[in-house]
Amino acid sequence: GLIEADDAQFSDFKQILERSNYLSMLKTYGHYTVFVPTNEAIQQYLKENGFASLDALTNEQCDTLARVHIVRDKAYFTSDIGDENQPVNMNENFITMTTDSDATNNNALLVYVNGSRLIHKDDSVTNGVVHVVNRVISASNQFLPALMEENPNLTIFCQALKLTGMADSLV
């Protein structure tokens, strides 16, 4: 598959998978969806979070990063993900997909997964699907009301939750 290849574009994520022992899991029988950040995305993440290099990450941090990018037990193509069908990553966070159009490129469709843009999608491998993303997907530890506030389609609903006090109950 894509990750096993000695492609210079994915060597950082491969190292994260090795340190967290998820690379061997992804080589076994099963069905997985993996969102693979490029080396550039990993380096940007390290810089933004004050890490000098990949070696500065603990094995636990590698474990969390790996789990955020893997959906276990099902191969999701982009056409499978929607309002009615939201996969959950191994960190128990929903994977949400949004789209936009690229005004600078004949309104080409841009696809985002949890805010990270898909730069290569729907690569079928023997035991799943691989998507390449341009940013590390954040490991959200936000409560549901805060996550809902980030969705522009839920503004009225979020306001109602706050006004009724239900947002506090959900937290």
What is the spatial distance between Cα 14 and Cα 45, in angstroms, rounded to a whole number? 15
The predicted structure's pLDDT at residue 66: 95
Q: Which residue has the tokens 């998820």?
A: 22
What is the spatial distance between Cα 34 and Cα 27, in angstroms, rounded to a whole number? 12
Q: How distant is the alpha carbon of residue 167 from its chain centre?
A: 26
The predicted structure's pLDDT at residue 101: 81
Positions in the chain whose pLDDT score sits under 50: 2
The predicted structure's pLDDT at residue 142: 52
- pLDDT tens sequence across 47-73: 999 999 999 999 999 999 999 999 998
The predicted structure's pLDDT at residue 112: 87
Nearest-10 Cα torsion for 19, 77, 111, 11 = 20
What is the spatial distance between Cα 23 and Cα 134, in angstroms, rounded to a whole number? 20
What is the spatial distance between Cα 86 and Cα 121, in angstroms, rounded to a whole number? 17
The predicted structure's pLDDT at residue 134: 95
User: Rounded to two decimals, what is the model's pTM?
Assistant: 0.77
